[in-house]
Chain A
Amino acid sequence: MSFSEKFADFGDKVIIKHRGLVLVSFLVLFLFSLAGLKRIVLDNSYASMLDKDNPINVQNRYFQEYFGNGDFAFIMVEASNTTDPNVLRQIQSLTTALEDSLPFVKDVKSFSNLEFLSAADDAISVDKLIPDGEIPESDSAIAALRNRIVSKKMYLDKLTNKELTQSGIFISFDTLGDTVYVKKKSENIFSFDIVKSDEVDGKDLSDYRLQKNPLMLIAPSLDYILEKHKNEYCSFSSTGVPVISYNVNSILTKEAAKSFVLTLVIIVGILAFLYRSTREVVAPLCVILSSVLMTFGIIGWLGIVVTTFALIVALLLMVISVSYSIHIINHFRKSLDIDGDRMNAVHYTYLHSGWACMLSAITTMVGFVSFVFVDMVPVRNLGITSAIGVAIVYCLTIFILPVLLSYGKNKENPVSQYKHAFLEVEKFPIFSITHAKPIFITTLLLLVGFGYMVTKIKADTDFINLFGEENAFVRDANKCTQNLGSLYSYEVLIELPEAGMAKTPEVLLAEDRLDSLINTFPITKFTTSVNDLIKDVNQTLHSGDSTYFRIPEDPNLLSQYLLLYEIAGGTELEKCVDLDYKRIRHSVRIRRSTTDLQYDFDKIVSFGQKFFPEGTQISIVGDMSVFLRAVSSLVKGQIISLIFSFIGIFIVLLLVFRSFREAFIIMIPNVIPVFFIGGVMGAMGITLNLQTIVAAPVIMGLAVDDTIHYVVFLTNVFKKTRDYKQASITTFKRVGNGIINTSIILFIGFLTFFFTPVISLHNISLLLVVGIVVALFADLLLTPALFSYFKALGKEN
């Protein structure tokens, strides 16, 4: 008994015989899975990209212990004159509202509360830029304020432009931790009642819900506060990682939901068009929806944390599910049309598509499971989610769909001959076999060309680049970064060998040189460090003479400046140097995130080793170091996962077909779409990111599905005819339309998210569509030629 027959036997004796029990078990499992949906944990934070014990996350937490959270939000104020009293009042009111109501806020810096070091005659003071919060009203007072602002080098291009038409508000945050508890009844975005995880002891949290990634609470409150402060005098634009993360989350969720509904409608339309039968539309629809819901429910039960990017899995599962369902329904209908008996039709379906679908599911799962080798948590979890999803899709298609189709009356007037569909598919193998050589040469040339373009692929995890300018948060981010603000930052942590060294001229002069180096990097927007404070004190104590905007070389003077600054009421010191003067923080705000940052980081570290005292440790911390590691992990991960996919799929084919040559030939038409996808990415500048990484394994899995259906039938027919051309023609007549139908459905299914304003979704749609078309043409034109030319199934008679 062949494996197909064993499978069909199992279908008859187990699944169909106990179909009532199968349906009840399915219902129980379905309800159980649904309960897991509530437990799904979404986490889009940068820190969640890498494992907790990853050295970069460990170093980031170490930095936060001394200097707190590096996350910030930035608000750009635009007005014809930002020192106009009306504008200043708006800034003042907004600053107070942010200080009072924004969750996790640590510090808000704006014109209204900015520290201002000044000296007059023999007096020195650290006051506010606007003393006592009294907004200047007279022309002379406004002019004095303008002079105060432009006199400070520290402010220019950071907090204001020279024309004073733009002004910045910087918001820094407390360390948020991984989770917080939010009071359910207080879920009013203006006043969250939040309990941090380190404040939980002894508190009754029955009225609270767990919030993973607390960063998500910031943006809605910020939006609300900005909305309340809309006015006729100035405009506000906001950006920063908390704003971007929140928008990425909500836009992706909305777009994925839209695409989900659209795909569902299209699938219903296609099924209705193909089968014109309520049962054959409703039954696969049940399978499709149940697969998606059960997958995410089980993910919830397993406690697997997913990013919003994992929503793409729902769309993929729908499309894969349709593809399997069509194979099942095609075989079922074919038998039912000819034989008329439903049970026989189910047997025929199991015989001809049960294990082919299983092979296809296994190969697709191998592709996804290979993501576990990626050093990036979201990609690993995406792979696990997808693999579980494919397994569920397969199980439901094989266990539930035939059961649903088995109920009902037998067909009364079966036709003696099965009618083929609309295409004369047998022309493809004829053309393929008669033009084998030109097809091989063309394929080879295309492979070389696309293979070259693969080398041009770049990886990226910058959320801004994954979304288009059509999204307001991207426009705001670009506007801010092109002017005053910045979107991303990194921190240089300088850890000196001994306490007290951070206030020595030797170290501070080295830091000054490091600062000059960092400012030569094109990506650097501006830097802040303890040197700014010391230089400002030195200049102020020398009657504002700008030649004194430098680090003094007398160690005692340096220490006394720092003491003077503290006694005079300065509060910025602790943000730049730790308590025992051993660690220095050098903050660098940058224009955008790019992989070129790695060169800058290397230069900083090698500079540090050269110019700081021996034993000094220089490390780069913050989200950008996570970003760089994530990017390199994505590239490595894609390569490793593809290698594992190739090997895994090859082993599966080898085990099934027990022929090295056959397995190798089957691999060729399935590897080609992967090259094409890579080539398109390289040629069109589509980056490898959290979504595009799934394109190659998905296409391989789906392409293998069609090839397996073709090869299984071809092998059976060839055994009888021993003639490749004839066997191919017969095979195409039987499975060709099924292959084309599924490809058309996959094409349309993947096309649904082509028109989204989210660039990354648009790109993955494009890649999957290209992959499907190439896979189809490879199956129609290349596979018959390969089998015939290389005599994969043995010699002809």
Chain B
Amino acid sequence: MTALLIIVPIAVAWALTVRFFWKAGAWLPYFVIGATGMAFLTIFMMRDILPGEDALRIATAFLVHHASWFMGIHTELLRPETGDLMIVGVPHHNEWTRLSIGIECSGLLETAALLGLVTFFPAVPKGKRMRLLFFALALTFLANVIRMLVIVGAVAYGGQAALEIAHVVFGRLVFFLLTIGIYWFAITRPTLATVGARLKASA
């Protein structure tokens, strides 16, 4: 209830501001405020109002767990009382590692950012934007799963000593590269196509 009392006025204020800039044709502030506001509101709603973050954690952990088994890594899926869904990495010479799927590993932040950026990107027609968004969100989820699999694989084959570097460097690098590809697909490529079409039309 408290969350609703906070989020509703903020959402209303945000919506009015975005509409103002849209009406005024001030596209830069429209885009910046619209995208960032939507991202923050999405995160807030998914964590405190809807069980969105939980659903993302469950889905991520579930997919990572089954994909790990497919790769020959016998992980274990646990959900302790705190609600964090975890995967326990396979023992590597009598080492067991618990990988907690928190907000960072759930992909929620990236999903919310992508949602805001694509929804309020004005250069692409609305229908096309929504189709692109659907695929981009799915690809972001899969990219996050791949990031987790990199960490699971590093721990399973390299031991607990590999956890830190896998978590901080390798997993993040893989996700970063995949995200660049997703943004290229969802924003850059359609923008280049739109700009290119306009240039041709004006030529």
**Does A associate with B in a complex?**
no
Interface residues, chain B, with chain A CB atoms under 8 Å away:
none
